[in-house]
Amino acid sequence: MTTLSVAADDIEEITILMPAGRVDSSNAKAFESQVLQKIQEGRTRLVMDFAELDYISSAGLRVVLIAGKKVKAGGGVLALCGLSPTIRDVFEISGFISLFPVSETRDEAIRSAGA
Amino acid sequence: MPHAIDVSLEASIDAVMSVQPDVDAFCETHGLSPRASYVLTLVLEELLTNVVNHGYRDSVGGPIILRLSKEGPNVVGEIVDAGHAFDPTTLPEPDTEASLDDREIGGLGVHLSKTMTAGLTYARIGDQNVTRFILADEDPPRMEDAS
């Protein structure tokens, strides 16, 4: 299994998750658990900062979608930032860019998540 | 001789992921761009995990043959398995226009594979599923120092 490392930071009502390295079929469940845990704790204003993410596959995209739905159901927002060009293409092809606020910088994402 | 891959994998997620170092070496040997390396890794993960999850779903996982080679500017890949007839290209496409509420989970793997390769084909030959793809590397090769 590819080791998954997800840094989590809470800034007031916003939680920033920063997965590092790869999210793929071998560790997507672990990513899902961590994200859902935060949502279950009542954190519904989420930023996923992908600046340290080298690779994500559909297994990881599935987690992003699930998180987005749950956060929305809780009246919150999931914002994304730091997507590399290829990862952005993967999200675009998947139709995800129109589902979430996507920005270059973490600051912009924090603003989107707090809106 | 150009470096090529021709391996037999057990039909499990672990075995599929274990081929990653060989794929990385293949990308390095052929000086594939970072983008092409990513797409190759992605397409292999998506197609191979589909074989494990769908093709061999009802039976003990037989071997999956993976072949990769570089032919001119293209990477040519072939995945052969002896699971029940399973055409990945006929999996329902996700609705990429759906809203967040309506969007269904799943279906992205083949969609990404089809869109990001130059040709994805499936054929049932005898009792085997043969999936082939071509990946064109249009970007400059990986460089040590970005200029």
- pLDDT band at residue B87 under the 50/70/90 scheme: confident
Q: Quick check: B103 and A58 CB within 8 A? A: no
Which residue is closest to A99 within chain B, CA to CA?
B100
Q: Quick check: A62 and B108 CB within 8 A? A: yes
DSSP3 helix / strand / coil % (chain A, rounded to 5): 40, 30, 30
Most A-contacting residue of B42, B43, B102, B104 (CB-CB within 10 A), to test interface:
B42
Q: Which two tokens stand for residue A7?
A: 């840094």
pTM of the predicted model as reported, rounded to 2 decimal places: 0.93
So what's the pLDDT on residue A90? 97
Residue scoring higher pLDDT (B130 or B96): B130
Average pLDDT over residues A2-20: 94
Model pLDDT for residues B29-86, shown as the tens digit of each residue: 999 999 999 999 999 999 999 998 887 766 666 799 999 999 999 999 999 999 888 8
- pLDDT band at residue A28 under the 50/70/90 scheme: very high
CA dist A77 to A7, A68, A72, A110, B99, Å?
19, 7, 6, 10, 14
| SS3 assignment, position B9 | strand
So what's the pLDDT on residue B60? 61
So what's the pLDDT on residue B114? 93
B71–chain A nearest CA distance, Å: 23
Are B120 and B75 contacting, i.e. CB atoms less than 8 angstroms apart? no
Task: Tell the CATH topology of A4-112.
Answer: Transcription Regulator spoIIAA (3.30.750)
Interface predicted TM-score of the whole assembly (ipTM), two decimals? 0.94
Which residue is closest to B101 within chain A, CA to CA?
A69
